[in-house]
Structure 1
Amino acid sequence: MTYLTQKTIKNSASFSGVALHSGKNVNVCIKPAEPDFGIVFKRVDVKKNNIVYPNFANVTNTSLNTTVSNEFGVKVSTIEHLMGALFCLGIDNALIEIDNEEVPILDGSAKKFIEKILLAEIQVSNSPIKIIKINKEVEYSEGDKFISVKPSTLSLDIDFQLKYKNEIIGNQRNKVKVYEDDLKDVYNSRTYCLYEDIEKIRHNGFAKGGSLDNAVVVKGAEILNPEGLRNKKEFVNHKILDCIGDLYTSGYRIVASVKCSQGGHYLTNQLLRKVFQNKENFSILEIKEKNLSHTLINRQLLKSIA
């Protein structure tokens, strides 16, 4: 058994908490699954037609979160932080049972998801992993916002830039090598908003469960959270976490170089849709150790996230 084989969770891991946007209390249980099962959500509060696949083609909302739905209208929203945790822990297969329509926000980052999954341990199989290799550069843009993906050797690089008029957030940029770097700051970075946007967000039916316990709130030149920021680039690092989680709706881990400016869930989803429109843009490869014995793909970043 190697790091290049598929993994699942060894024991069930359970989470409970408030949903960021609906404000409802939600229970989630991640259960082990067989090789090639993939990541699957099951709405246990719905009696039938309750399986929802977190695939880019099933994304039905990208406003302030990523929501996936099945053909019967059953949905699961705010999946991005949990998907990011699964991606970077190398979890290929898991059944995620959830008793409401939105994944709990917990502390606003992926930190608690990762801690619980690690406590439940990771089970390694003998089945080789599959990856998506990008063959051609693809871009998507709207106004001054853009995202692109191009071929890479054996890595997933994400170069992300934010541009805010707010003096605290400002212009932040960070670049990470997902399979190689210490990603602790990325996993620990919380969702955020500007204080002046809260009323509008809630008026539109979002952030009913939002608080300083699960989001960073910026008011002018002040961070309203008493503990301040967790790292100097928490804002852009959280966007990178979102991007990783949204990229996992491709179905597999990706080998590519991603560059984004002022993007978010919508741009990442549109990029994936554009990539998969043309089979020449990508290849799906089954990775065996004899082919890539030196690769860092699918490595468990236990030291990075402990």
Structure 2
Amino acid sequence: MSYLTQKTIKNNISFRGISLHSGLNVNLSIKPALPNHGIVFKRIDLKNNNLVYPNFMNVTNTSLNTTIENEFGVKVSTIEHLMCALFGLGIDNALIEIDNEEVPILDGSAKIFMEKIISAGIEISESPIKIIKINKEISYSEGGRYIKIKPSTLSLDIDFELKYNNPVIGNQRNKFKVYEDDLSDVYNSRTFCLFEDIEMIKKNGLAKGGSLENAVVVKENEILNPEGLRNEKEFVNHKILDCIGDLYTAGYRMIANISCSQGGHYLTNQLLRKVFSNKENFSILEIKEKNLPHNLINRSFLRSIA
């Protein structure tokens, strides 16, 4: 967090690829945007009412992906990997043009999105960024699954636990300081599924574009992808990737400590709804200096705008 002013990309970026769930080929472009524009999706296959904002209140589906929808019923789905890439590279403002309902899955991770954004270059403005600071501990749980957020000093810590009744996936846990640690393994980790679940997923009209090119498939004690895993904890690391992307639907990057067990898109979205339902739970801070102290948030450096 060294350049604490808003960023966009320097040059247009284009992607073409299959969408994971619809199985359709999709064209997507990321274009520069002015400060305070935010991240905005535009469905260019539609002429009217085609702007969709990636806000947690606009999330209308969390089944195997995150789908956002505007008041006119226009949707963009599977946004989480792209949102993670934008979060990770500090992109505050961008116009994302897409000619169909679903973001292309590419390799099933955030890797290709990040590589192209880096190659396009990043434009740094003079406008200060805003950060969400969590003031109170908030949790959301269903059965044995839970997600919890609590105040932090100057970091975003994510501690994620995964439990699968499968000998390959099993129980995995990993923790990262998002603004300090090397997150390469997170950004490179692919979406995954169990082989025995594929038939049911496809019966539900999903994963029509799924393949070993864009997902890790586990059958009993075997990984079907010939290249194997990209890293030792790829399964839980991908869940952290999803979590980061979904957290960005809060609108800004965040200072918080998050712990999650067996969570996913739904739990993260429910947590955000709960946090922002009460203004006492959070503050939105505007950075007034180029750098922040590394030990704690010094309120003389920040101005509360919430």
TM score, norm. by length of structure 1: 0.95
Contact 2:17 2:104 in 1 (8 A): yes
**Paired residue type of 2:106:** L
Report the Cα distance in structure 2 between the residues aligned to 1:123 and 1:295, rounded to whole angstroms: 28
| 3-state SS in 2 of match to 1:73 | coil
User: 1:70 aligns to what?
Assistant: 70
Report the Cα distance in structure 2 between the residues aligned to 1:294 and 1:175, rounded to whole angstroms: 19
Deviation of 1:288 (Å): 1.9
User: 1:23 aligns to what?
Assistant: 23
User: 2:109 aligns to what?
Assistant: 109
Moved over 6 A (4+): none
**Structure 1, gaps ≥5 residues long:** 298-306
Report the Cα distance in structure 2 between the residues aligned to 1:197 and 1:101, rounded to whole angstroms: 24
User: 2:42 aligns to what?
Assistant: 42
Report the Cα distance in structure 2 between the residues aligned to 1:160 and 1:110, rounded to whole angstroms: 18
Deviation of 1:290 (Å): 6.2
**Paired residue type of 2:116:** K
1:290/1:232 CA distance change after superposition, 3 Å: closer
How many residues matched?
Answer: 296
Report the Cα distance in structure 2 between the residues aligned to 1:220 and 1:288, rounded to whole angstroms: 53
Report the Cα distance in structure 2 between the residues aligned to 1:36 and 1:285, rounded to whole angstroms: 14
Contact 1:179 1:296 in 2 (8 A): no
1:295/1:35 CA distance change after superposition, 3 Å: farther
Deviation of 1:293 (Å): 4.8
List per-residue Cα deviations over 1:95-135 (Å, max 9, x = no partner).
00000000000000000000000010000000000000000
| 3-state SS in 1 of match to 2:283 | strand
1:146/1:99 CA distance change after superposition, 3 Å: same
Contact 2:6 2:127 in 1 (8 A): yes
User: 2:32 aligns to what?
Assistant: 32
Contact 1:146 1:261 in 2 (8 A): yes
1:296/1:199 CA distance change after superposition, 3 Å: farther
1:135/1:22 CA distance change after superposition, 3 Å: same
Report the Cα distance in structure 1 between the residues aligned to 2:94 and 2:168, rounded to whole angstroms: 39
Contact 1:159 1:260 in 2 (8 A): yes
Deviation of 1:204 (Å): 0.2
| 3-state SS in 1 of match to 2:187 | helix
User: 1:277 aligns to what?
Assistant: 277
User: 1:100 aligns to what?
Assistant: 100
User: 1:131 aligns to what?
Assistant: 131
User: 2:90 aligns to what?
Assistant: 90
Output the aligned Cα RMSD: 1.3
Deviation of 1:289 (Å): 1.6
Report the Cα distance in structure 1 between the residues aligned to 2:295 and 2:252, rounded to whole angstroms: 16
User: 2:304 aligns to what?
Assistant: none
Q: How does 1:1-306 map to 2 (within 5 A)?
A: 3-289=3-289, 292-294=292-294
**Structure 2, gaps ≥5 residues long:** 298-306
List per-residue Cα deviations over 1:51-106 (Å, max 9, x = no partner).
00000000000000000000000000000000000001000000000000000000
Report the Cα distance in structure 1 between the residues aligned to 2:252 and 2:46, rounded to whole angstroms: 27
Deviation of 1:292 (Å): 2.1
Contact 2:3 2:291 in 1 (8 A): no
1:142/1:35 CA distance change after superposition, 3 Å: same
User: 2:300 aligns to what?
Assistant: none
Contact 1:45 1:98 in 2 (8 A): yes
